[in-house]
């Protein structure tokens, strides 16, 4: 029996349904005990030839059996309901936590492992909370009450039974530490395998392109073998524990009945009562053992759960400002940042002002720190030193939701969820009307192709071959950003898929907004009000296209390099 402290704390939100399950479990046990005592009474009556009493007691026993059937139905329904509630609450909590931890956490943890915790771990915890923990309550209450009562019938048998129950509850605990350790090892192997499979599915195009599917298959087979080995190691201990429990239950039952029959002048009632009570005493213990296996997966997942719940968010949400200034000025003042665990600075003393309504393009070679500047502006991380301000207010003065509502992001790879086009657009603004969606889509030059889809805005992406091209996805992203109507625009490599429609849409999106454009392809930044060149985390040049080209510095060099490659 393992009652985990952390899981008990987690049960806070679901204690009422768990208590209901425990209450119903006690009622079912009471029905079992009632039936057992009625049968003991009927057998004793039969032994002394009292047929009327036998028939009456048997009739009552049938009535109790019928009542128990109804109780079992209610308990099962309540358990399933409680399980669904527990899963939903736990998942809500974990998803909320993931939202708080932000993308910074997922760069450190493996996505597959997080997914395994949120999906499989929570499934396992359902059984732990809705079946195992209520059964722990029943297992403590029923044997205590029964042994206590049995003392009034046959003190010697009751003493033997008490010792047997204590033995059954305590002796298997000797294996708990080993079981938990092996369970955690198995969970790690399971999470690793799930992570590898997720990566294999996500990277299937790359694997095929490099002919690496076979090699990866061998790696996955090795991982699967690891899982098999750890499962068998865990099962061996688990079987020993189950075997010992079963032996103690049988030995306890036999010993208690032997003591009852070997008493001087034993009467039929006390012998039958001891026999039936002993069976009922061990019933909750046996059930606990069954539920333990059902909830064990969840218990071993607690490590992953704790990792998620105790992970420190990269930034704290202590700001109070919720509204964002219109067309604000953004200032990076000597901003330096090093990623957690990295030895070198990603950006160093970056000082940059993006004036109200201005479009500034940030360019530079790979690894120069452009995405880091974008991440800092979205406050996925706080700078190690220096400040970033929006119209004079520090980023940290805003609530995280206020900040995110103020900055619309259009990235190179637009993630579209499985759902309709309308659902994907409403991700930006859940309360947007159909007319709002159409207006945004028209401004993003997306209405035309959306109208041509089989069900227009109600078309489910990914079904019936409905996929969008890179340029079309980009325009959906622009429509989303238009729906958000944020005063600041962050275009992160957003210009790479842009066709003539996209260019028009982007021009409309940029209008009246303060815009930071992060770009690789220099041809897409010529029209920016200003171009800032970042190299090895430092700003090396600033100016417009003409000025920088004439100056013949880094920008000129990068431009020449790109033209040669083209
Ligand atoms: N999560 C991270 N942890 C540690 N170091 C990181 C992390 N992300 C980026 N870096 C490092 O920070 C530096 C700047 O990276 P960044 O991604 O900002 O460059 P970039 O200019 O956007 O590059 P690219 O154009 O290739 O996307 C690089 O040296 C990179 O290796």
Separation of CA 236 and ligand 1 centre (Å): 47
pLDDT of residue 563: 67
Separation of CA 373 and ligand 1 centre (Å): 10
Q: Average pLDDT, stretch 201-208?
A: 78
- Could you tell which of 347, 367, 384 is best to mutate to test the pocket of ligand 1, judged by most ligand atoms within 8 Å of the CB? 367
Question: pLDDT grade, residue 1 (50/70/90)?
Answer: low
For ligand 1, atom 30: residue with the closest CA: 367
Choose between 261 and 378: higher pLDDT: 378
Question: pLDDT grade, residue 214 (50/70/90)?
Answer: confident
Residue 363 has pLDDT above 70, yes or no: yes
For ligand 1, atom 16: residue with the closest CA: 369
Q: Average pLDDT, stretch 143-167?
A: 89
For ligand 1, atom 23: residue with the closest CA: 367
Q: Over the stretch 309-350, which tens digit does the pLDDT of each residue have?
A: 888 888 888 889 988 888 899 999 999 999 988 899 999 999
In the chain, pLDDT over 70 holds for what percent of residues?
94
For ligand 1, atom 7: residue with the closest CA: 339
Ligand 1 atom nearest the C-alpha of 534 is 21
Q: What angle do CA 454, 460, 465 make, to 5 degrees?
A: 70
pLDDT of residue 463: 58
Q: Average pLDDT, stretch 452-476?
A: 80
Contact 249, 122 (CB under 8 A): no
Contact 231, 186 (CB under 8 A): yes
Q: Over the stretch 66-83, which tens digit does the pLDDT of each residue have?
A: 999 999 999 999 999 888
For ligand 1, atom 29: residue with the closest CA: 367
pLDDT of residue 394: 94
Strand locations in 366-406, DSSP E? Answer: 385-390, 393-394
Q: Which of 244, 4, 306, 241 is nearest to 129 (CA)?
A: 4
Residue 494 has pLDDT above 70, yes or no: no
For ligand 1, atom 6: residue with the closest CA: 339
Separation of CA 542 and ligand 1 centre (Å): 21
Residue 566 has pLDDT above 70, yes or no: no
* Beta carbons within 8 Å of 58's beta carbon, 6+ residues apart: 38, 39, 42
* CATH number of this structure's domain 330-565: 3.40.50.300
Please give the structure tokens belonging to residue 482.
């238009």
Residue 443 has pLDDT above 70, yes or no: yes
Ligand 1 atom nearest the C-alpha of 375 is 18
Residue 33 CA to residue 147 CA, distance in Å, equals 12
Mean pLDDT of the chain: 85
Residue 465 has pLDDT above 60, yes or no: no
- Could you tell which of 346, 363, 493 is best to mutate to test the pocket of ligand 1, judged by most ligand atoms within 8 Å of the CB? 346
Separation of CA 367 and ligand 1 centre (Å): 5
Residue 504 has pLDDT above 60, yes or no: yes
* Beta carbons within 8 Å of 310's beta carbon, 6+ residues apart: none
Q: Where are the domains of the chain?
A: 5-310, 330-565
- Could you tell which of 336, 372, 411, 520 is best to mutate to test the pocket of ligand 1, judged by most ligand atoms within 8 Å of the CB? 372
Ligand 1 atom nearest the C-alpha of 373 is 18
What is the pTM for the complete model shown?
0.71
Separation of CA 366 and ligand 1 centre (Å): 8
Ligand 1 neighbours, Cβ below 6 Å, are 107, 339, 342, 346, 364, 366-372, 520
* CATH number of this structure's domain 5-310: 1.20.1560.10
Query: DSSP string of 310-361?
Result: HPPPSS-----B-SPPSS--EEEEEEEE--TT-SS-SEEEEEEEE-TT-EEE
ipTM over 0.90: yes
pLDDT of residue 496: 59
pLDDT of residue 183: 83
pLDDT of residue 229: 92
In the chain, pLDDT over 90 holds for what percent of residues?
32
């Amino acid at each position: 029996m393992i009652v985990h402290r952390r899981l008990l704390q987690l049960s806070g939100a679901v204690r009422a349904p768990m208590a209901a399950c425990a209450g119903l479990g006690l009622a079912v046990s009471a029905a079992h005990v009632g039936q057992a005592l009625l049968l003991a009474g009927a057998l004793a009556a039969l032994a002394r030839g009292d047929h009327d009493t036998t028939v009456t007691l048997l009739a009552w026993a049938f009535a109790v059996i019928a009542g128990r059937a109804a109780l079992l139905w209610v308990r099962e329904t309540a358990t399933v309901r409680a399980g669904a509630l527990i899963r939903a609450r736990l998942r809500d909590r974990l998803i909320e936590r993931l939202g708080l931890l932000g993308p910074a956490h997922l760069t450190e943890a493996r996505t597959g492992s997080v997914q395994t915790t949120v999906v499989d771990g929570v499934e396992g915890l359902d059984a732990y909370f809705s079946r195992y923990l209520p059964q722990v309550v029943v297992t403590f209450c029923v044997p205590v009450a029964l042994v206590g009562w049995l003392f009034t019938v046959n003190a010697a048998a009751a003493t033997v039974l008490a010792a047997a129950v204590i033995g059954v509850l305590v002796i298997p605990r000797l294996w708990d530490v080993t079981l938990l350790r092996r369970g955690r090892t198995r969970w790690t192997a399971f999470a690793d395998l799930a992570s590898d499979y997720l990566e294999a599915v996500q990277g299937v195009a790359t694997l095929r392109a490099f002919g690496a599917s076979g090699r990866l298959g061998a790696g996955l087979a090795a991982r699967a073998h690891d899982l098999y080995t750890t499962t068998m190691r865990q099962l061996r201990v688990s079987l020993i524990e189950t075997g010992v429990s079963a032996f103690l239950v049988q030995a306890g039952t036999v010993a208690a009945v032997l003591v009852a029959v070997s008493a001087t002048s034993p009467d039929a009632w006390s012998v039958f009562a001891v026999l039936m009570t002993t069976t009922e005493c061990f019933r909750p213990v046996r059930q606990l053992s069954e539920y333990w296996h059902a909830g064990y997966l969840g218990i071993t997942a607690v490590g992953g759960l704790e990792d998620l719940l105790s992970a420190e968010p990269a930034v704290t949400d202590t700001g109070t400002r919720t509204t964002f200034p219109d067309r604000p000025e953004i200032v990076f003042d000597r901003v330096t940042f090093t990623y957690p665990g990295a030895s070198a600075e990603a950006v160093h003393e970056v000082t940059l002002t993006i004036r109200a309504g201005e479009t500034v393009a940030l360019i530079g070679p790979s690894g120069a720190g452009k995405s880091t500047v974008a991440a800092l502006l979205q406050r996925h991380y706080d700078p190690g030193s220096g400040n970033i301000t929006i119209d004079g207010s520090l980023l940290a003065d805003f609530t995280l939701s206020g900040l995110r509502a103020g900055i619309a992001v259009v990235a190179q790879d637009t993630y579209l969820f499985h759902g309709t086009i309308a659902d994907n657009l409403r991700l930006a603004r859940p309360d947007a009307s159909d007319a709002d969606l159409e207006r945004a889509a028209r401004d993003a030059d997306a209405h035309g192709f959306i109208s041509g889809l089989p069900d227009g805005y109600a078309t489910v992406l990914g079904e019936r071959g409905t996929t969008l091209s890179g340029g079309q996805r980009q325009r959906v992203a622009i429509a989303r950003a238009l729906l958000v109507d944020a005063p600041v625009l962050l275009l992160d490599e957003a210009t790479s898929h842009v066709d003539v429609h996209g260019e028009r849409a982007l021009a409309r999106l940029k209008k009246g907004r303060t815009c930071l454009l992060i770009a690789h392809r220099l041809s897409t930044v010529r029209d920016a009000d200003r171009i800032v060149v970042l190299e090895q985390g430092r700003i090396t040049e600033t100016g417009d296209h003409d000025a920088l080209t004439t100056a013949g510095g880094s920008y000129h060099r990068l431009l020449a390099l790109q033209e040669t490659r083209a």
